[in-house]
Amino acid sequence: MSLLMTMTNLVLLLSIFTLFVQVFSEEAALGPNVVNVGAIFSFDTINGKVAKVAMKAAEDDINSDPGILGGRKLSVALHDSNYSSFLSFIGALQFMETDTVAIIGPQSSVMAHVLSHLANELHVPLLSFTALDPGLSPLQYPFFVQTAPNDKFQMIAIAEMVSYFGWAEVIVVFSDDDQNRNGIIMLDDKLAERRCRISYKATLPPDPMAKRSDVLKELAKIQMMESRVIVLNTFSKTGLLVFEVAKSLGMMEKGYVWIASTWLSTVLDSTSPLKPETANSIRGVLTLRPHTPDSKRKRDFISRWNQLSNGSIGLNPYGLFAYDTVWMIARAVKLLFDQGSTISFSNDERLISLTGMDLNLSALSIFDGGKQLLKNVIETKMTGLTGPVQFNQDRFLINPSYDIINTVETGYRQVGYWSNHSGLSIVPPETLYGKKPNRSSSNQHLDSVVWPGGETIKPRGWVFPNNGRELRIVVPNRVSYRDFVSVVNGTNKVQGYCIDVFLAAIKLMPYAVPYRFIPFGNGHENPSYYELVSKIAAGVFDGAVGDIAIVTDRTRIVDFTQPYIESGLVVVAPVKKISSNPWSFSRPFTPLMWAVTAVFFLIVGSVVWVLEHRINDEFRGSPRQQFVTILTFSFSTMFFSHRENTVSTLGRLVLIIWLFVVLIINSSYTASLTSILTVQQLSSPIKGIDTLISSSEPIGFQIGSFAERYLAEELGIPKSRLVQLGSPEDYAHALEKRQVAAIVDERPYVDLFLSDRCEFSIRGQEFSKRAWGFAFPRDSPLAIDMSTAILALSENGELQKIHDKWLSRSACSSEKSEDEAEQLDLQSFWGLFLICGIACILALLVYSLLMFRQYSRRSPEELDSTNRNNSFSARLRTCLSFIDGKVENSKSSSKRKRDSMHSDV
């Protein structure tokens, strides 16, 4: 009996063991009942507190739905790094010793760079919504995934805000850690793309190690600088300290602009109400907040938040990203199970060999399904509390966008949005995603902003610093043409036309500008203006005032003001006066013009004779008389004094047209002859720059002028032909001694040179249009304000008064300096001659048709007498006799009848 019971117990035990093995095998095949996920944060920070509550809520929501993980439970283990990178690293090692499939975090980018190497080796995905350093490349750190918009897009948004408001320079204040440092590098690049720049970078110790003394030291420097646009990229503890110190220094008043990164919006959203001193210190600041579209799920979660957090902390967007990150892991794990994979870990052979050490490194194991889980995370497509969650090919979240927040007295107000799709807008980004991207400046809009100090007018963004430092204004120490700019010998006084323009413009500036003039040059020859401008670009001087031409090479390294005088290159050459002679009267017309005019006089006279010969007794007589009549009639029309009357319609038509031509010719001749006899005429073989280029003669230019480079590089004139000249006296000597054929220089210098030297003249037209302006460093707001002042001087007439004071001369330059007045040639009148010629031809054709018609209608008797002799010569004589025959004009016959009646009486 006992044997039977023993056998029965053995069978029962064997059955139970078999069932246990079967269940254990099934569980082993399906994976563990608990899916471990780690989270590494500093839970004393705002984002740490918010993330803790949000991740716990996500864990509960996932575990409450058995369909998510097939009955398994998700366990999110929290590790408080307490601002310590060392504790963050220890926490990661602990998680990886306990079969953790993924880690949420770390909170800082500094640790993300370190832990990503560990994740790469053990194939454990790291997902962070706060470590958003643009330098965390997925190529270098494939197991690190950013589940919130990368800081690259935040920097683009700030750069576009700076460009939108028209500021050229910004100062940045940032904590010197990986995330903030790399963010500033990205901001610098994005500003440069928009022709803006960072003028100064103020670094602070990493958050939260910055002390008040550190902040005070940097802000005191910034207060003495020109730019008033300050970008603050740090975290909440350091950021609030910066604003506290700035408030005490008066840097939160009118004229300043502060743009804070997203840390400030987390403070506004999660800390309510703010302390009064904190609220006062941040008033008028612009900040960004990650944009999350409105949805029912989001509203429901917000309504649960007070219950979830017990009112300990307000919800900010990073809480929503924390919630969605946990869901991303849960969905990726579910998909991993659906793909037939299990959660299993294997030992790393490289770590097993280290078992002899005190560190238990052999406990670290490789997650076998890590690569597949990472792939599932990256391929996530879901709609979370933050809206559509999906990664693009660069592993950035699609459609990154931000709210633009303006802190005001009552809290804050939203003034617009920024999205990577459409830029700045007052319309929510999700409403624009279906439209074509339009990033043009005309399509960028923001609502009005309340700036520090309560100002609603956009600050200039730049002021002249009240630091006691004077602007170092360099002026060329010229040895020639000192009317433009010169240093008074033995003194530091600078004077001249350019100086007076600068002083007048300074008076119109909206702020005081202390300055001092610094001469540039050795005083023995004119300085090199290219070297002078390069000194500004190098920071040696703060600006340049003088006769500085605005040329392309210089505009690449400095900014110029609005031009205050036009300038361009001209050619100066010796000229000789053309003396009068007995044949001066013939100068107005060229020989060809004289010949064509004479021919047309004869042609018109002959045509009129043909048209009038049969019916007008005044055009009849012996051949000699008729020839004289043609000549006298033709040339007397020049003075409208012809005695012969025309009676035929065709003759009168031709004569009227011809008299019109004669009127134009007479008027032109009179005007030209008057000019020739009353204006001094000058001549020179040099006609302009084209003559110089085609010749091989030497050309003079002023030392220091851009003319040398222009002639050599632009016009291709060999440098061996170019001769340096230093003064007007050198100009005159070189031209008189034929050392140079001509001089090429800028128009203002030439006008001054010619004012008392009538033996030289400008030849040809001005070429290479240029202008003079004042030079300042690139993107200097002073250049813009000076340009405005110069425009005001031009409009109120002050600029002309200064010009008249220094540069007006009585002068040869006002006399005619061009070539001998151009002779009138056939080109100027061929249209008139063409009309007259056509009229003559048409009149002769009509007359010929009429003659042929009359000839064919002769009487039968005349025809019989003609037929008796049919030879050609006889017919020709008959025809000519007919044409030459006298025909009574109706008016003439009527007149003779009246005369005969009177005689009879």
pLDDT, one tens digit per residue, over 659-678 is 888 888 888 878 877 776 66
Mean model confidence pLDDT for the chain? 83
**What range does the domain containing 193 cover?**
151-295+399-443
Distance CA(492)–CA(106), nearest Å, equals 64
Terminal Cα-to-Cα distance of the chain (whole angstroms): 196
288 with 165, same domain: the answer is yes
Residue 49 lies in a domain: yes
Query: Any residues with CB less than 8 A from the CB of 360 and at least 6 apart, and which?
Result: 97
Residues of the chain with pLDDT > 90, as a percent, come to 44
Helix (H, G, I), strand (E, B) or coil at 883: helix
118 with 245, same domain: the answer is no
Query: Where residue 12 falls among pLDDT bands split at 50, 70, 90?
Result: very low
Residue 892 lies in a domain: no
| Across 720-748, average pLDDT | 91
384 with 424, same domain: the answer is no
Residues of the chain with pLDDT > 70, as a percent, come to 83
Q: Which of 7-21, 584-598, 824-838 has the lowest mean pLDDT?
A: 7-21
pLDDT computed for residue 363 by the predictor: 61
Which one has a higher pLDDT value, 851 or 332? 332
Q: Which of 490-499, 513-522, 621-630, 726-735 has the lowest mean pLDDT?
A: 621-630
pLDDT computed for residue 8 by the predictor: 46
Does residue 3 register a pLDDT over 50? no
Which one has a higher pLDDT value, 516 or 468? 516
Does residue 1 register a pLDDT over 60? no
283 with 304, same domain: the answer is no
Residue 489 carries which side chain, given as an amino acid letter?
Answer: N
- For residue 79, the cross-strand partners are 40
Does residue 876 register a pLDDT over 90? no
Element (H, E) at 640: none
Q: Which of 109-113, 501-505, 519-523, 585-589 has the lowest mean pLDDT?
A: 585-589
Does residue 817 register a pLDDT over 50? no
Domain total in the chain: 3
pLDDT computed for residue 646 by the predictor: 73
Most confident of 29-43, 306-320, 504-518, 675-689: 306-320
| Across 844-853, average pLDDT | 80
pLDDT computed for residue 852 by the predictor: 74
| Across 42-52, average pLDDT | 92
Which one has a higher pLDDT value, 885 or 590? 590
290 with 309, same domain: the answer is no
pLDDT computed for residue 325 by the predictor: 95
pLDDT computed for residue 466 by the predictor: 62
| Across 495-505, average pLDDT | 95
How confident is the model over 228-278, as pLDDT tens digits? 999 999 999 999 999 999 999 999 999 899 999 999 999 999 987 888 999
Residue 725 lies in a domain: no
201 with 283, same domain: the answer is yes
Q: Which of 476-490, 526-540, 753-767, 883-897 has the lowest mean pLDDT?
A: 883-897
DSSP state of 687: -
Distance CA(326)–CA(380), nearest Å, equals 12
How confident is the model over 373-416, as pLDDT tens digits? 999 999 999 999 999 999 998 899 999 999 999 999 888 999 99
Does residue 838 register a pLDDT over 80? yes
Does residue 364 register a pLDDT over 80? no
Residue 259 sits in a domain whose CATH number is 3.40.50.2300
270 with 384, same domain: the answer is no
Query: Where residue 822 falls among pLDDT bands split at 50, 70, 90?
Result: low
Residue 112 lies in a domain: yes
347 with 385, same domain: the answer is yes
Angle at the Cα of 156 from the Cα atoms of 153 and 157, rounded to 5 degrees: 90
Does residue 468 register a pLDDT over 70? no
Does residue 710 register a pLDDT over 50? yes
In 3D space, the residue among 228, 229, 231, 239 whose CA is nearest the CA of residue 206 turns out to be 239
How confident is the model over 555-568, as pLDDT tens digits? 999 999 999 999 88
325 with 426, same domain: the answer is no
Distance CA(762)–CA(753), nearest Å, equals 11
pLDDT computed for residue 360 by the predictor: 54
pLDDT computed for residue 811 by the predictor: 52
Does residue 902 register a pLDDT over 50? no
177 with 285, same domain: the answer is yes
How confident is the model over 57-100, as pLDDT tens digits? 999 999 998 888 888 899 999 998 887 878 888 888 888 778 89
Query: Where among 361, 390, 419 does a domain terminate?
Result: 390
Residue 308 lies in a domain: yes
Query: Where residue 869 falls among pLDDT bands split at 50, 70, 90?
Result: low
In 3D space, the residue among 778, 781, 770, 791 whose CA is nearest the CA of residue 505 turns out to be 791
Residue 307 lies in a domain: yes
291 with 418, same domain: the answer is yes
Query: Where residue 872 falls among pLDDT bands split at 50, 70, 90?
Result: low
With 0-12 CB in 10 A as exposed, 13-18 as middle and 19+ as buried, what is 580? exposed
Which one has a higher pLDDT value, 510 or 822? 510
228 with 318, same domain: the answer is no
Residue 626 lies in a domain: yes
Half-sphere exposure of 393 (CA within 13 A, CB side): 0
Query: Where residue 186 falls among pLDDT bands split at 50, 70, 90?
Result: very high
Residue 85 lies in a domain: yes
Q: What is the 3-state secondary structure (H, E, C) of 578-636?
A: CCCCCCHHHCCECHHHHHHHHHHHHHHHHHHHHHHCCCCHHHCCCHHHHHHHHHHHHHH
pLDDT computed for residue 7 by the predictor: 47
Distance CA(683)–CA(196), nearest Å, equals 54
Distance CA(314)–CA(728), nearest Å, equals 79
